[in-house]
Amino acid sequence: MCYIFFRPVLEEKHMPFQSKKPQLTITQETCGILQGLSTSRTEPMHRVERARILLSFADGDTISAIARQYGTNRMKVERCVNKAIQLGAMASLDDLPGRGKPAKISEDARAWVLSLACLKPKDLGYSYEMWTTSLLAAHIRKHCTEAGHPSLALISRGTVSKILMKSKIRPHKMIYYLERRDPEFDAKMAQVLCVYNEVALLRKSNASTLTAILSYDEKPGIQAIGNTAPDLPPGSRRASQHGGAITNTYGMAQSAPLPELIC
């Protein structure tokens, strides 16, 4: 006798996938910023792509669906989402600091380079009026060891230029400024113009020919000695308003003015 047992087949139920990853909470203000970034054509591509990923994840899309939608891989989406959950949505748009090759030039050495750039080459024994990046780099290489910054022994003019540009200092530029120094300039100007008007009235009134009009002025010497005010270094407040360049006044100090009398 043969026995046949029938085992009922239970219908298999497919449970929907539930992610264990915490949800990303985005405020309305942050959502508006991310939406603007996701459609921007001027922002860097990595910011645009990460903004789209965060918006899709906040809408409930899975990591795999986001990767397929934007033609990328799961690892990239995972890193972006995890960073957003830990640090916030806005912080995840940019790379974290600390990547790349560690800097060989310390902050103290950079500060020493900037202090040299704010000095005049004449103060250090050179015949030049202003620094060039090549001259400054050569001076740094020559004196860096004795100053306690041996990391600058092989510095190039390009590295010097980058350090100066980052601090917005341009020691090779000269910009002039005009500053009013005489508080009584307006009153003196009005007095001189009044004399001119009186002379014009005398000439129009057909005054007697015995009237003599004298104009007295002073004639400067062969050349001016120098500026009326010292040059302002690139690190000064006024220089920072002019892009970090050396600033100087238009006024010149006269050397032994000679009186001149014109009739």
Instruction: Report domain extents, the chain.
Output: 28-93, 107-167, 185-262
Instruction: Identify the residue whose tokens are 């001259």.
Output: 135
State the Cα torsion 50-51-57-63 to the nearest 10°.
-20
| DSSP-based three-state secondary structure for 131 | coil
* Distance set, CA 102 to CA 99, 106, 227 (Å): 8, 10, 46
State the Cα torsion 124-127-129-135 to the nearest 10°.
-70
pLDDT digits (tens, 9 = 90+) for 111-142: 999 989 888 888 888 888 888 999 999 999 99
pLDDT band at 204 (very low <50, low <70, confident <90, very high): confident
pLDDT digits (tens, 9 = 90+) for 57-79: 988 888 999 999 999 999 999 99
Contact in structure between 227 and 255 (CB atoms under 8 Å): no
> What is the per-residue pLDDT for 75?
92
Write down the mean pLDDT value for the chain. 78
| DSSP-based three-state secondary structure for 258 | strand
pLDDT digits (tens, 9 = 90+) for 206-253: 656 666 777 666 555 445 555 666 666 665 555 555 555 555 655 555
Mean pLDDT of 39-54: 92
Q: Which residues on neighbouring strands pair with residue 247, listed in sequence order?
A: 175, 232
Amino acid at 77: V
> What is the per-residue pLDDT for 113?
92
pTM, two decimals, is: 0.43
Instruction: Identify the residue whose tokens are 């057909």.
Output: 206
